[in-house]
Homo-oligomer: A and B are copies of this chain.
Amino acid sequence: MRKILNITKALSDENRIRALMMLQGGEMCVCNIIEMLDLAPSTVSKHMSILKQADLVETRRDGKWTYYRLSDVDSNPAATEIIQWLLSNLEKDSMVRKDKTRLNKYKSKTSTASCKNC
């Protein structure tokens, strides 16, 4: 029950859902998530730690930067299922679509090797 509540509580905030939907396009550096959500770094860090606590995302460190990505299917089936549910029910959502467009523009301006935006 605790595990499920961790997931549903993690999903009960709009900014965290937006972050998850953006991660559909691949891993992101924290600084990019901060810019996309337009929130204070400390706030975004907290959000991401809640998503991580719920096993919805995983992290990778590269030098000064931390990258977040959606959790592996194998590592957490329940998480993958519910993210799929979110995706199918939010693909037409205006905010999610705007985020996606904005994110693509953002990505095209930068190399993918490491975070050049920070």
When C-beta atoms are compared, the residue in chain B nearest to A5 turns out to be B14
Given A85-B81, A89-B78; A5-B1 close (CB under 8 Å) = no
Query: How many identical chains are in the complex?
Result: 2
Task: Give complex CA distance A89, B12 in Å.
Answer: 18
A12–B95 alpha-carbon span in the complex (Å): 22
Q: A62 interface residue, CB < 8 Å from B?
A: no
The residue among A5, A8, A96 with the most chain B CB atoms within 10 A of its own CB is A8
Q: Is the CB of B86 within 8 A of A4?
A: yes
Chain A interfacial positions (CB closer than 8 Å to B): 1, 3-5, 8-9, 11-12, 14, 17, 78, 81-82, 85-86, 89-90, 93-96
